[in-house]
Chain A
Amino acid sequence: MTDKIQFNHVSKVFTIRDSNERKNGIKEFTAINNVHFSVKVGEFLTLVGPSGCGKSTLLDLLGGLTKPTSGQILIDGKPIKGPGLDRGIVFQQYALFPWKTAMGNIEFGLEAKEIPKKERTEIARHFLALVGLSGFENRYPHELSGGMKQRIAIARSLAYEPDVLLMDEPFAALDAQTRETLQTELLRIWEKTKKTIIFITHGIDEAVYLGERIAVMTSRPGTIKQMIQNPIHSRNLDEDIRSTPGFAQARHQIWDLLREEVHQSQAFERKNETA
């Protein structure tokens, strides 16, 4: 299979104000360092890593919202020039437009794509049904539950047909039941639409449940610590794979990898506090 996304030795350095130095002191701050990996067409990759290791930064870079300090990110072999409708981002905090109804939100990307009104409505209805929210067309975001909002956000990103779906801890704020429902739904959608998905998560279970491959990141400055080919990823949605021995094994492997990193970053933070 061909590569959809390639990270070529990508680093991102932020300049931040340094509170310890003189008033105008600025400090360089490496968020991610030498990230190098690729994602195949139609692949579902999950990305786990300790808090603050640069996962969101990675997604911003991929979304074209920021530029890498060094290295290159390629999509279909071409460097990213900026944001575009070939990639859809689902943000952790929903990011729905509160003045637009569920339908209006889903149509937003289609408007940007200059699709005529009638067609837009049709497409939006289709995706609203896909995420199981038919009948909620005219609800405003504040009239929807968290899980519904997240589904609308997913529908919005799917509606303009991006090749790549970038999801930043989309289910983190939801209760366990809603999360599991949406996870299954997402897998269904993925099988139906054959999109390339990069899915960031804090949850090891979630990473193992969803990912064909799982990328584990080191603590800050983040790099890819290990790529794990998920052994249990033979998708039968009706089967409860969470209770299989393969699931437990993969879970344990990631847990061990992360534990080292979390210890390291905690030690680092403690050192910073006393300094």
Chain B
Amino acid sequence: MANVNKSVTVTIPAPGRIPFSFHWLQKLLKQTVVMMVLLFLWEVAPRMGLVDQTFFPPFSIVAEGWWGLAVSGDLYDHFLASILRSLSGFGLAILIGIPLGLVIGWYPLANELLNPVLELFRNTAALALLPVFILLLGIGETSKIAIVIFACLFPILLNTINAVRNVDLLLIRSAKSMGLGSTQLFYKVILPASIPTIFTGIRMSGSASILVLIAAEMVGAKEGLGYLISYTQMNFQIPEMYAGIITIALLGLILNFMLVSIEKKLSKWKENANG
């Protein structure tokens, strides 16, 4: 009997663990290969004349342009300008959106009164309002941060309201049955139950903050990645333009990665569909 037990506990984890780490490595390898193939195509297609080299330079030339911008410090300045704007707008939207959403979600009357207004704003594309923001706030930092706030606010606000309103009634009843008053109920049930949904809103806002900001910077700015792209395009510095685009993609990737990791940590109690 003891013998059987021993052989079971020893053999099961051993073959289980090796393929697992192997699997992980394999995945990384596959993804790298796909990436390399794409970059290779980017390199080869223009050189073979499949696309126009002037408008679509090979990857090595773009990389060279990127390096030039990086070394001169220009890229850093533009990057910094963009990230400061997007983070301040994004941060302010979080600071406004979550408390406001909690209040609106918690009080049925507030929800009833504000719902039509929110629906209207939600369905207004932020960029459509850009001219209004510029008219009212000028083309300086204020209007850019304001439009980022506007774009970020609605995903956060609406997700927070939804989260609060959709807390499982059974959990509320269960907590009430243990004698929790409304303040305690809010802190111990409503808030923790809402966090994953709220964070989905935050993540959506993260991508919106970059998207809207870049567009705003393309329209009117003196620095920032959006400005860099439109400026280099107009001056026919095509490799530099692509360098700007790549930087934005990287910025988006980093931001999303950070938000996803925080989200994972905060919702580790949730059933994970991806295993």
Q: Is the CB of B178 within 8 A of A85?
A: yes
For chain A, residues 67 to 98, give those with C-beta under 8 angstroms from any C-beta of chain B.
83-85, 87-89, 91, 93, 95, 97-98
Known A93-B170, A97-B192, A99-B193; judge A83-B177 contact (CB<8 A): yes
Q: Is the CB of B174 within 8 A of A160?
A: no
Q: Is the CB of A89 within 8 A of B174?
A: yes
Q: Is the CB of A109 within 8 A of B178?
A: yes
Q: Is the CB of B269 within 8 A of A65?
A: no
B171 interfacial contact with A, CB 8 Å: yes
A100 to B189, CA, bound (A): 10
Q: Is the CB of A98 within 8 A of B269?
A: yes
Q: Which among B177, B189, B192, B271 has the greatest number of chain A C-beta atoms within 10 A? A: B177
Which residues of chain A are within 8 angstroms of B271 by Cβ–Cβ distance? Answer: 142
Which residues of chain A are within 8 angstroms of B192 by Cβ–Cβ distance? Answer: 97, 99
For chain A, residues 155 to 207, give those with C-beta under 8 angstroms from any C-beta of chain B.
160
Please encode chain B, from 161 to 187, with 1 for each CB lying within 8 Å of some chain A CB and 0 for all others.
Answer: 000000000110111111110001000
Q: Is the CB of A95 within 8 A of B180?
A: no
A30 to B244, CA, bound (A): 69
A63 interfacial contact with B, CB 8 Å: yes
A63 to B270, CA, bound (A): 29
Which residues of chain A are within 8 angstroms of B188 by Cβ–Cβ distance? Answer: 108, 111
For chain B, residues 236 to 275, give those with C-beta under 8 angstroms from any C-beta of chain A.
268-271
Q: Is the CB of A95 within 8 A of B176?
A: no
A140 interfacial contact with B, CB 8 Å: yes
For chain A, residues 51 to 69, give those with C-beta under 8 angstroms from any C-beta of chain B.
63-65
Which residues of chain A are within 8 angstroms of B195 by Cβ–Cβ distance? Answer: 99
Q: Is the CB of B180 within 8 A of A112?
A: yes
Which residues of chain B are within 8 angstroms of A99 by Cβ–Cβ distance? Answer: 192-193, 195, 269
Q: Is the CB of A108 within 8 A of B178?
A: yes
A252 to B101, CA, bound (A): 56
Known A99-B192, A142-B269; judge A84-B179 contact (CB<8 A): yes
A63 to B174, CA, bound (A): 10
Known A140-B269, A142-B269, A142-B271; judge A97-B178 contact (CB<8 A): no
Q: Is the CB of A95 within 8 A of B174?
A: yes
Q: Is the CB of A89 within 8 A of B270?
A: no
Q: Which residue of A lies closest to B196 (CB)?
A: A99
Which residues of chain A are within 8 angstroms of B170 by Cβ–Cβ distance? Answer: 91, 93, 95
Q: Which residue of B lies closest to A109 (CB)?
A: B178
Which residues of chain B are within 8 angstroms of A160 by Cβ–Cβ distance? Answer: 178
Chain A nearest CB, measured from B180 CB (Å)? 6
Which residues of chain B are within 8 angstroms of A141 by Cβ–Cβ distance? Answer: 269
A93 to B184, CA, bound (A): 23
Q: Which residue of B lies closest to A89 (CB)?
A: B177
Known A65-B173, A83-B176, A97-B189; judge A112-B184 contact (CB<8 A): yes
Q: Is the CB of B178 within 8 A of A63?
A: no
Which residues of chain B are within 8 angstroms of A98 by Cβ–Cβ distance? Answer: 193, 269-270
Q: Which residue of B lies closest to A110 (CB)?
A: B178
Which residues of chain A are within 8 angstroms of B193 by Cβ–Cβ distance? Answer: 97-99
Given B177, B180, B268, which contacts A63 in the complex, CB threshold below 8 Å? B177
A27 to B232, CA, bound (A): 70
Which residues of chain B are within 8 angstroms of A65 by Cβ–Cβ distance? Answer: 173, 176-177
Q: Is the CB of B179 within 8 A of A85?
A: yes
For chain B, residues 166 to 223, give those with C-beta under 8 angstroms from any C-beta of chain A.
170-171, 173-180, 184, 188-189, 192-193, 195
Known A65-B173, A91-B170, A95-B171; judge A112-B178 contact (CB<8 A): yes
Q: Which residue of A lies closest to B184 (CB)?
A: A112
Chain A nearest CB, measured from B273 CB (Å)? 11
Contacts A97-B175, A142-B270 given; 8 further ones with Cβ under 8 A?
A65-B173, A84-B179, A88-B177, A97-B192, A99-B195, A108-B175, A109-B178, A112-B184
Taking beta carbons and an 8 Å cutoff, which residues of B are in contact with A? 170-171, 173-180, 184, 188-189, 192-193, 195, 268-271
Taking beta carbons and an 8 Å cutoff, which residues of A are in contact with B? 63-65, 83-85, 87-89, 91, 93, 95, 97-100, 108-109, 111-113, 140-142, 160
In order of increasing CB-CB distance, the 9 nearest A-B pairs are A95-B174, A99-B269, A142-B271, A109-B178, A89-B177, A140-B269, A99-B192, A95-B170, A85-B179
Listed A/B pairs (7) with beta-carbon separation below 8 Å = A65-B173, A91-B170, A95-B171, A98-B270, A99-B193, A99-B269, A112-B178
